[in-house]
Amino acid sequence: MGGLLRRNLEMIVLILSGVLLAAGGIAWWASAADTARWLWIADTLLGLVFALAATLQAARQHRPTVDIIAVLALAGALAVDEPLAGAIITLMLATGQVLEAMADARARRELSLLTARAPRTATRVTADGLVEIAVADVVIGDRLLVRPGEVVPVDGRLAQDSTFDESALTGEPVPVERPAGEDVRSGVVNVAGPAEILTTTTAETSTYAALVRLVEAAQATSAPFVRTADRWAIAFVPLTLVLAGVAWAASADPVRAVAVLVVATPCPLLLAAPIAIVSGLSRAARLGVVVKGGGALEQLARGKVVLVDKTGTLTRGRPELADVITAPGYDADLALRLAASVDQLSAHVLAGPIVEAARARGLDLAMPADVIETHGQGVEGVVDGRRTRVGRYSWIAGPSPERWIRRVRRRADLDGSASSLVEVDGAVVAALLLRDPIRPDAPRMVRALRAAGVTRVVLATGDRADVGTAVGRIVGVDQVLADCTPEDKLAALGREAAHGATIMVGDGINDAPALAAADVGVALAARGATASSEAADVVLTVDRIDALADAMAVAKRSRRIALQAVGVGMGLSLLAMIAAAWGLLAPTVGAALQEVIDLLAIAIALRAVLPGRLHSVALSADDRATLAALHEEHDNVAPLVERVATVADALSAHEPDVGAAVALVHALETELLPHERADEERLVPLVARARGTDEAVAALSRTHAEIEHQVGRLRRLLDGIDGDPEPDDIVELRRMLYGLYGVLRLHNAQEDEDAFSLMPARG
């Protein structure tokens, strides 16, 4: 009962205050002046107790407060026998407390959506059947069954296609289809048939558990909500007391002093600023950004310098299969199928992308037998009677690798790619190249941050200088700091602080010290939260780095609206105080006028609840479906793009053979060009419509035309080669293939950044 009373105290005071004020008004209208007076006195005493309790609580917490003005105004109203003024002030204070409590509760509800459905049990698949276990007992490598409607308990890799509701993590309302082999995060809900996952984390280190901890931290930080306006208005207290004292001394009339105190009651500060700030927290949460309190939101709005990590931040942090290079005469799809079949039972970070790529190519994977995983080296097993090994270069290739393997290794080193070799029945048959691609939304995020007022962007990475510089040049940072240790990132923050408030963005455990040291630490938790999310002030739960630009826009808008509300409210209050000091406002009239000022300030602050202009672009359902279909086609032709380089690599003037080039050009004409024409017909208008200008797609249209032109040149060259090709023909063919490859790679990057980055986050 006591707890219920405490939780609803503001509402109870508001109702009592309104009843007493209204009852007094009715009594006064009925000519029962004494009854009205005592009802208003009771209302004033209620407000005095309420304001005095708030003042004492602030004193115990060593927190500055302007509630002391309300205490003096209420006491003064009683002292000069102006109970109606006191009753109006009480209603005003109670209304403000209720509005602030409601705004705070709304922000908490947005955050609590992440923790409302935390799973407690999991279903383990064993040789003896299904076993119900506690989530805490799940270990890496477990096979778990997730039934329809159940929450995925820990992070894992899907054994078959399924569909998930990911709205609790990303805010995206549309269910997301996930293919077999793709990673799935804990906390999402299975909305299809029963699905099996191979676990890749424990419950303690899973995405959902870490998000629960960070939300608890966010709620602890913002409860009780420290009224931002108290810091802005503390100078208002002595100003009010001096003005009231001067008015009393000059007129010898204490009523004037009370009138000054009444109109000085700082409700625009007590109400408007918290409403705007808390509304910002709520809007950020709906965008998939958890901000740990109003202070963090304000600091985010002030940010001038952004330090950003590379891996997992500007890049996806998860490798993707870039190419399959085979030994002479071996089939690439067969090599990938065998490797992916073995990798189905591996929890290694490269296994998932290999399985996912094989599924995307439509390969039918088999369940391997006699699987053995050598930690840090690779995995082996028997697939369709063939002993298959997939793993590190040194584990498989041996001390004297074949020439084609050495060429692959050199290419991987130059590209900054990871590589896995595939061995079948003792022979190395293929190399799998995997890259960590740049996030398509990263360059747009950097541009949006600059538009939001960020003056400097620094890339601080532990990677080597050439890789870091390449990424930094593409996304558009001001400086690249390579080979950084955690201590180096801390030192960089110290140097950059001279340029303004610092924002550190990262996702790894090694980023945690810098995240804690920056004015605002921003962590990406979409692919598994780590210590970084617990050290950060802001956490992105969506797998989009440009959500940071949206969060910064929300923070700046909320702070700007709060300042506007406070400026208008306090400016009008100051004018009313001067009028009261001159004797132009009686206490009761002043209280009524202050109520009008409060309502105006609150109306200004409530604009923060309305959606503002964001960096991200909202798409219609039809446009999203079109974009998703074209993106799938885009992914399907990606292996064909890499095949252009592979064919060019294999051309030799000593053994001229254009058979592979002829087959390639035929594939380009029948697969690639129809896709590019569909992009020109459907993708280009979609992007122009979303961006609001045709200029945004001019480069896309130009490269579509260039690709068709280059493929036509290749066809004419091959048609013009009669009989055995000459060495010069091979040189020209190789030159044209490499040129086409460069154009295709650039064009794909353009489409990723300009078009497919508009797609909602998949998490």
Q: Per-residue pLDDT for 208 more than 60?
A: yes
pLDDT band at 710 (very low <50, low <70, confident <90, very high): very high
Tokens 């076993």 sit at which residue? 131
Per-residue confidence at 673, pLDDT binned at 50, 70, 90? very high
Q: What are the tens digits of pLDDT across the range 583-636?
A: 888 888 887 887 788 778 888 888 887 776 766 667 777 888 888 888 888 888
Going by the DSSP 8-state scheme, the letter that residue 438 receives in this structure is B
The predicted model gives 110-139 an average pLDDT of 76
What confidence tier does 266 reach under pLDDT thresholds 50, 70, 90? Answer: low
Q: Poorest-confidence range of 106-115, 324-333, 681-690?
A: 106-115
Given a cut of 60, whether residue 5 has pLDDT beyond it is no
Question: Which of 517-526, 612-621, 665-674 has the highest mean predicted lDDT (pLDDT)?
Answer: 665-674
Q: Most distant CA pair in the chain: distance in Å?
A: 118
DSSP string of 551-565?
HHHHHHHHHHHHHHH
Ramachandran assignment for 149, one of left (phi > 0), alpha (psi -120 to 50 degrees), beta (any other): left
- 142 is a catalytic site residue: no
- Residue 475 or residue 10, greater confidence: 475
Per-residue pLDDT band at 669 (split at 50, 70, 90) = very high
Which of 218-232, 312-326, 469-483 is predicted with the least confidence, judged by mean pLDDT?
Answer: 218-232
309, 598, 729, 754: which is the annotated catalytic residue?
309
Which pTM value belongs to this model? 0.67
Of 3-7, 227-231, 638-642, 708-712, where does the model show the most confidence?
A: 708-712
User: In this predicted model, what pLDDT tens digit does every residue of 338-372 receive, in sequence order?
Assistant: 999 998 888 777 888 888 888 888 888 888 888 88
Helix (H, G, I), strand (E, B) or coil at 568: helix
- Are residues 154 and 199 in contact, defined by beta-carbon separation less than 8 angstroms? yes
Residue 87's pLDDT band (boundaries 50, 70, 90)?
Answer: confident
Give the torsion sign (CA, 284, 285, 287, 289).
positive
Sign of the Cα pseudo-torsion (434, 533, 189, 753, in order) = negative
Q: Which residue has the higher pLDDT, 654 or 687?
A: 687
Is residue 135 within 8 A of residue 146, CB to CB? The reply is no
User: For residue range 398-439, what is the model confidence (pLDDT) as tens digits?
Assistant: 665 677 788 788 877 777 777 888 989 888 888 888 888 888
Q: What is the mean pLDDT of residues 121-141?
A: 86
- Total number of residues shown for the chain: 763
What DSSP designation does 522 have? E
The percent of residues in the chain predicted with pLDDT above 70, rounded, is 85
pLDDT digits (tens, 9 = 90+) for 159-189: 888 888 776 665 455 577 788 878 888 878 8
What pLDDT is attached to residue 244?
82
Question: Helices H, strands E: what count in the chain?
Answer: 31, 22
User: Is residue 457 scored above 90 in pLDDT?
Assistant: yes
Could you give the CA distance from residue 56 to residue 49 in angstroms, rounded to a whole number?
10
pLDDT in tens, 726-737: 888 888 888 999
